[in-house]
Amino acid sequence: MARTLYLFSNGRLERKDNTLHWVSDRGEKYIPITAISDIKVFGEIELNKRLLEFLDKNDIPVHFFNYYGYYIGTFYPRNSMNSGLITIKQTEHYIDIEKRLYLAKSFVIGSFLNILKNLKYYQRRHEEKLSFTIEYIEEKLKEVGSKKDILSLMQLEGDTRKTYYESFNLIIEGFHFEKRTKNPPKNPLNAMISFGNALLYTTVLSEIYRTHLDPRIGYLHETNQRSFTLNLDIAEVFKPIIVDRVIFQLINKKQIQEKHFEQAIDFVHLNEKGREIFVQAFEEKLKTTIKYKNVGDVSYRRLIRMECYKLYKHFLEEDVYRPFVSEW
């Protein structure tokens, strides 16, 4: 199965016949193009037009992150699966406020339900304290249907996630959560959340690329100056069960420690070793399989692709979109 190629060190990526040739201070290696689904670049790399043409021909997106691990952009090949019909249908669902609200609410509902799955799992250890948070989010879940516009829906989502993040102090040990800070993250826990979310956004974007969907048209997240927004929408459903669970695992098993972070002037970021540890756990989570309805064993990465296909059927009015909700 094709996999994501992560490039952490500085080096040169080039085409050699029908393979990728990666040269860095860690050595060099040849990678069959058929073994790669997408590339995530964290180091300073050299590349040329010949390589980009090769990647375009083989439908391989390249996601770029800066020195601190923040996502900065994507080389998105000409999509051979582009569908004018689907783009029209996606646009119709964006312009029609009722259709757009249905999808936006669905993403929020999926997010809330998966957040509740996390909290109820850890409730066994902190019965009374987590019960308050669970009841609060269950009440917020009931309010989703009454929202009449995207702004109020986003505010509801933001308030709910704020309360959820505050409960992290009952779930993890060794790191303290004060408040969510994004641009830039002010402490290690926020750095992990931001980094994990960026990995998920680009993973979803790569999966969208394998479908007929247009990633530029989102519903919960405003389609404006951003290049891509549909991946942000879909990621809302999967953040709790992929990113958050990876963070809980890494901290509680002490795989990530204070030594894996660096303090800059006004923010904190994972160092290279910390990013490598996080990425390994993230990829392991994506490979993890679960029993899914009548399909059988399905990996989390495959679940993301299936979520895209569910939206595809929704736009064509073949089926009504329902967000994925974890069994546990």
Residue 55 in any domain: the answer is yes
Cβ pair 90, 312 in contact under 8 A: no
* 261 located within any domain: yes
**What is the CATH number for 33?**
3.100.10.20
CB proximity list for 36: less than 8 A, separation 6 or greater: 2, 3, 4, 5, 20, 58, 60
pLDDT of residue 176: 85
Answer yes or no: is 72 within a domain: no
**Residues 235/197, Cβ–Cβ less than 8 Å:** yes
- The answer to whether 150 and 100 are in contact (CB under 8 A) is yes
Is 147 found in the same domain as 227? Answer: yes
Domain for residue 16, yes or no? yes
User: What tokens were used for 194?
Assistant: 């931001």
Query: Does the residue 74 lie in any domain?
Result: no
Q: Residue 206 falls within a domain, yes or no?
A: yes
Residues 12 and 139 in one domain: no
Least Cα distance to 229 among 220, 241, 239 occurs for: 220
pLDDT of residue 80: 61
**Domain boundary residue among 60, 75, 94?**
60
pTM greater than 0.85: yes
Residue 65 lies in a domain: no
Q: Please check whether residue 321 lies inside any domain of the structure.
A: no
Same domain, 146 and 284: yes
Q: What is the pLDDT of residues 10-46, one digit of tens each?
A: 999 999 998 999 999 889 999 999 999 999 999 999 9
Count how many domains the chain has: 2
Say if residue 183 is in the same domain as residue 102. Answer: yes
97 and 53, same structural domain? no
Task: Select from 11, 45, 60 the last residue of a domain.
Answer: 60
On whether both 20 and 117 belong to a single domain, the answer is no
* Residues of the chain scoring pLDDT < 70: 79-81, 125-128, 224-226
- 271 and 236 share one domain: yes
- Torsion angle in degrees (nearest 10) through CA of 155, 160, 161, 164: 170
pLDDT at 75: 93
Q: 179 and 268 in one domain? A: yes
Q: Are residues 125 and 235 in the same domain?
A: yes
88 and 54 belong to one structural domain: no
Domain range for 289: 84-315
C-alpha distances (whole Å) from 288 to each of 49, 242, 247, 285 are 36, 10, 16, 5
pLDDT score at 79: 66
Q: Are residues 181 and 290 in the same domain?
A: yes
- CA-nearest of 161, 173, 157 to 254 is 173
Where would I find the H helices in the chain? 49-57, 84-95, 97-122, 127-143, 150-166, 168-171, 188-209, 230-238, 245-252, 272-287, 300-315
Please give the pLDDT value at position 266: 79
At residue 194, the pLDDT reads 93
Both 297 and 168 in one domain: the answer is: yes
CATH number at residue 125: 1.20.120.920
Counted residue by residue, the chain has a size of: 328
